[in-house]
Structure 1
Amino acid sequence: MSLSVDSSKECAGFKLPEEQSSQCDSGLGGGLEQREPWGQSPGLPCSSGEDRCESACDSAYGSGLLESFSSHCSLGASNKAPVHEATFDPWAYLSEEGDTFLHLCIIHEVEALALAFIAHCTLEYLNWQNDLLQTPLHLAMYTRQANIVRQLVLKGADTELQDRNGNTPLHLACQYSLEECVQALTKPVAAEERALLGCEAFNESGPPNLERHNWQGLTCLHLAVLYRNDAMVEHLLASGARVNTQEATSGRTALHLAVELGEIGLVSRLLRGGSDVDAPMYNGCTPLHLAVGRLDAGIAAALCQAGADLLLPNLEEETPLDLASSSWNVLELCPFDDVRLRGLPVV
């Protein structure tokens, strides 16, 4: 099922096709695909009446499924004698859209139940991708549940899996400015967390890959710049994101993107972070080419102060000075003269 940040709580409106009561024994009969990739059920006991099981199967995306499960299931051993009735097994459940029961708990923001599942399930279950290739970690990002994000990371959930748009959970956090979720995703494991979970329980795979491109060719830093999120840019650079990585479509760096947006604050921050002021795109254009072409005198001046080369040609043999020559304010766009201080032009 498809989720969006603006309407993540509307998922309860989705419906599953009606199932016959005879299909409720396993939770995977009929229209539900017979997939159970995570292996043996960890054995959470769930005893409920036949009518309740049939109702759960008929409205898997309705809140009734989670409410009935929460009120009739326990995570501990039961002293009651086994009841020979049809049972709903949440570990075997898989919707037509490929969502596990954990997916649904996160979608409906039933945090206590989601955390209980996370504590008992295998990595294969944690990393299961639905038909949109969304893992529970993707959905926790969409629904802004930082506590669940952190628990998934500590349990070893794969932070590198990509959804159908090529986005990792960190891409989503950067796109939608989810600072709290980014902290939960990237911060090192604290000593208290290590002691609480035990040496085998937390993720030892290291921080997420900050250089992975989505299917639009963008890294997390590119997305943070495109969405004008200064705090996210700061966090990514401090976490080791490479400031000169090129996006895959036209070879723009984060500095090119900031210049195109006219964001002089981001331009200054990226320059302080070591951005190559003369980095070429695939067509040879530098950030100064873009600033001059957009008649942005403020950014052009900032680039020149950082040492941008006014005479560097692109693939069409045009320099930034050539582009400015056709403008009435050429001196404003290219503020250079013969006086240089420590190799930099005096503006």
Structure 2
Amino acid sequence: MNTPKSINLQEYAEKISYTALINCYMKEFTNWSRYLGIPEYDPAIAENLRKTQTDLHIRIDFSSIGCDVYIPVTYFSESGRHLFDFPVLRRVLETDEVSEVDIYGFMALTAEYSKKIYQDIEASTVMDRLNNSIQNLYAYLKHMAENNKSVNNLEMSFIEAERSLILGHILHPVPKSRQGFNGQDLFLYSPETSGRFQLFYFLIDRKNIIEKNADGEPVSKKLGEKIYLLLNPEHQKLWDRFPNHKLVPMHPWQAKHLLSQEDVQIMQEQGALFALGHYGEYFTPTSSVRTVYSEDSPWMFKFSLHVKITNSERINLYPELHRGHDISRLLKTDWGKIYRKIFRRLNLW
């Protein structure tokens, strides 16, 4: 995928986002049908459908809120990845007035229609996320065009592939929404812009740490030995004074967030936690955003990140962590060795 500089990137971002939103709607709701041809006895809508470039449309029945919507279809997919032409048309049933409806108008109709099913829905919330997603996608496309970047090349490294998902999930209504990243955060911490950063390190009293490693030796020990040599003299002396503290890496955005929390500030005052700052090799985010990779590190880290990525804050949950540890242990058993022989190309450890 290359982004031609002649394209209006804002319009392109909205079109891509609109397509994803409609596909998502068609997956989640059933009040739609395929509409082939031009109606003979419905002149109001017939006149407008003749202006579209296709004779196949999706008709969404919004009669419960006083309208219906017609979407030109250029490709109908049995797998749900449909392609559309624009504009989308909205017809007011009472007056037969037909007008174009943009992506924000369609989201508003969806929210209004959904209130009969989900009474607590808050339209402003989804509108904010939709706008955030569109503007982020525009920023990524603009970055690609200005830097002459391409994705989906025939051959790619691991991290090049992770950075290549520019358009996002094809069945998510707000695939590039990342509420919490402001200003330069978006470029520094996004895979689409090849962001690079050092991790932020804390010294934390070991009684406040739960640590397991399916390979045996605690990762904090090996990591600590490596980072200790990189610390400035002041931080080395601090660790020497508190030998029972362990080194804990953190996503730099999350570290800033945690340091603003009252309970973390209390831990600092009590000497249970010390913020050391940025050290070590540079990492880059993968497609999950909160999982980071460095070719110079033997580990990939998956951090909690209090950023609303697509639809929720991405936090590591205890059950997930224990499950990952248990599966790693299972794959090291005799059963796991047999599994590896059967599925030689599936590398899970």
TM-score tier (shorter): under 0.3
Higher relative contact order (CA 8 A, sep 6+): 2
TM-score by length of 2: 0.27
TM-score by length of 1: 0.27
